[in-house]
Amino acid sequence: MVEWPTPLSANPSLQQQRPVDVVPLIEFDISLPSFKKMEMKLNAEILNEQNSRFIETHKPEYHFLAQSLEKKGVQVNDVIKKLQELQVAIPSWALGAGGTRFGRFSYQGEPASLENKISDVGIIHALTNTAGAISLHIPWDIPKDYNAIKELAASLDIKFDAVNSNTFQDQPSMNKSYRFGSLCNTDSSVREIAIQHNLEVIDTGKKLGSNSLTVWLADGSNFPGQQNFQEALQNTKESLKHIYKSMPDDWKLFIEYKPYEPNFYSTVIQDWGTSLMLAEGCGQRAYTLVDLGHHLPNTNIEQIVATLMMKGKLGGFHFNDSKYGDDDLTVGSVKPYALFLIWNELVYGMENNPNNPSPAWMIDASHNIKDPLEDLLQSLEAIQIAYAQALLVDQKGLQEAQKQQDATLCQEILQDAYRTDVRPLLREARLCSSAAIEPIASYRSLNIRNQLIKERGLHTVASGL
Ligand code: LRH
Ligand code: MN
């Protein structure tokens, strides 16, 4: 292990040591027997050289902001530490170009293997120090060599977050179909196939060191009268209980809800209330997972978050943004204020709801036109910005103003935080954890996409949506 060279004039108290091999940008890592050629790995020298381009601008901006925040009583070091501790899982199914039913525009240099995908998450994590986990979708990402995959992930400081089951696509080995549902299906043999699949996904997760399962069901109907709502919900409830009981004692079950798509009349687990009811039906380690895109227009998601935290049943998030439906757009690209209000409830809840475990932070996005890695870098930035702004909210002042029923003052307190440009705090957090001050600028000036194309070719296609 080589000492991480101290970045220029970084703030010593916020220093974070990270296990990094100081090696050339493209390397052959013979220490990992299973890999003849190691994919690209960003190293300290490269990032240091990159940061030297931005440090002169960053430092005065950071000190100006830090001083003005400390005058307001903000513990700036605490905010930065919390930003450094925030680790958001990258979805394995969103490292290539996504598509819609109207087509898919391939992105060159896409990861064609799970190894490639983990390497891409490694690049994002090296640039941001906030993407220290990957969330796999099974069967899209079944490892061929579990030890090699775990070695590669560990060498990049990447953990395995929740594993996702898939009972919305028929598999070649199946002699039945999920066309009319999986865990809700009127045919018990189809329910059994779906349950068995979830148990196999748990096994895969156990081998990788994951400790949570996310279940999202496409189950529902397309026409009035097509499905008996109560029977479908009862079947789903029983099936989930079966899966829950089969989980190791230290595992969590995340039940993800969605109002519609791919079924367009009804969805069995359509909203947070149904998910909460099913989670309570399963047991203590079952929770509701909130995908921001899974709400009907103008739904007050921050109120749902507050309610779930009060119940101790907020399991985690799939962060993305949307204008209309489940658009899976870049986080914070359409409704950044809504994202801030959600994080304000999270900060309040993490302070006042000790009964709710620390939520699992994950992105769930799909990239139709942007470079997938740039899109994910922007999403991580937006999540950190909303969190940092929420950490600046004068929670005591807000509660006092709420007691006084002073709506004007409440808004002033919230928007004072929201209207603070917190990016210098993110930059300092990255600088002090040996990541890139400007991840996207560095991603581009290091020409990483072209390097990936050189290694993988123009036509590789990533598995996933
Ligand atoms: C469903 C969903 C779910 C995943 C899938 C890839 O819309 O959000 O989380 O399984 O996307
Ligand atoms: Mn999702």
Confidence of residue 32 (pLDDT cuts 50, 70, 90): very low
pLDDT score for 31: 46
Q: Which two tokens stand for residue 326?
A: 């489940």
Q: State the chain's mean pLDDT as an integer.
A: 92
What is the distance in angstroms between the CA of the first residue and the CA of the last residue of the chain? 38
| Binding site membership of 317 for ligand 1 (Cβ less than 6 Å) | no
φ, ψ at 213 (rounded to 5°)? -120, 130
pLDDT score for 40: 54
- For the chain, the domains span 8-456
| Binding site membership of 216 for ligand 1 (Cβ less than 6 Å) | yes
| Average pLDDT over every residue of 225-252 | 98
| Binding site membership of 93 for ligand 1 (Cβ less than 6 Å) | yes
| Binding site membership of 219 for ligand 1 (Cβ less than 6 Å) | no
Q: Which protein residue has the closest C-alpha to ligand 1 atom 10?
A: 216
Query: Between β-strands 266-267 and 220-221, what pairing exists: parallel, antiparallel or unpaired?
Result: antiparallel
pLDDT digits (tens, 9 = 90+) for 83-101: 999 999 999 999 999 888 8
pLDDT digits (tens, 9 = 90+) for 247-266: 999 999 999 999 999 999 99
* Model confidence at 267: pLDDT above 50: yes
Percent of the chain past pLDDT 90, that is, above it, reads 86
Q: Which two tokens stand for residue 54?
A: 């931005």
From the CA of 256, give the closest atom in ligand 1: 9
Q: Which two tokens stand for residue 122?
A: 């490694």
Q: How many residues does the chain have?
A: 465
Is the peptide bond between 24 and the residue preceding it cis, with omega within 30 degrees of 0? no
**Cα(114) to centroid of ligand 1, in Å?**
19
Longest dimension (CA), the chain: 68
pLDDT score for 43: 84
For the domain made up of 8-456, give the CATH fold: TIM Barrel (3.20.20)
pLDDT digits (tens, 9 = 90+) for 401-455: 999 999 999 999 999 999 999 999 999 999 999 999 999 999 999 999 999 999 9
pLDDT score for 450: 94
Q: Which protein residue has the closest C-alpha to ligand 1 atom 11?
A: 364
C-alpha 150/C-alpha 159 separation (Å) is 9
pLDDT score for 225: 98
* Model confidence at 186: pLDDT above 90: yes
The number of C-alpha atoms within 13 Å of 273 and in the hemisphere containing its C-beta is 0
Among left, alpha and beta (phi > 0; psi -120 to 50; other), residue 328 is: left
| Binding site membership of 321 for ligand 1 (Cβ less than 6 Å) | no
Q: Which two tokens stand for residue 349?
A: 């809840």
| Binding site membership of 215 for ligand 1 (Cβ less than 6 Å) | no
* Model confidence at 323: pLDDT above 60: yes
**Cα(2) to centroid of ligand 2, in Å?**
39
Confidence of residue 356 (pLDDT cuts 50, 70, 90): very high
pLDDT score for 41: 61
C-alpha 241/C-alpha 251 separation (Å) is 14
* Model confidence at 21: pLDDT above 90: no
* Model confidence at 220: pLDDT above 90: yes
**Cα(166) to centroid of ligand 1, in Å?**
9
Judge whether 286 and 276 are in contact, CB under 8 Å.
no
pLDDT digits (tens, 9 = 90+) for 142-167: 999 999 999 999 999 999 999 999 99
Residue at 34: amino acid letter:
S
**Cα(230) to centroid of ligand 1, in Å?**
24
Of the candidate ranges 36-45, 304-313, 334-343, the one whose mean pLDDT is the lowest: 36-45
| Binding site membership of 256 for ligand 1 (Cβ less than 6 Å) | yes
C-alpha 201/C-alpha 183 separation (Å) is 15
Cα-only R_g, the chain: 22
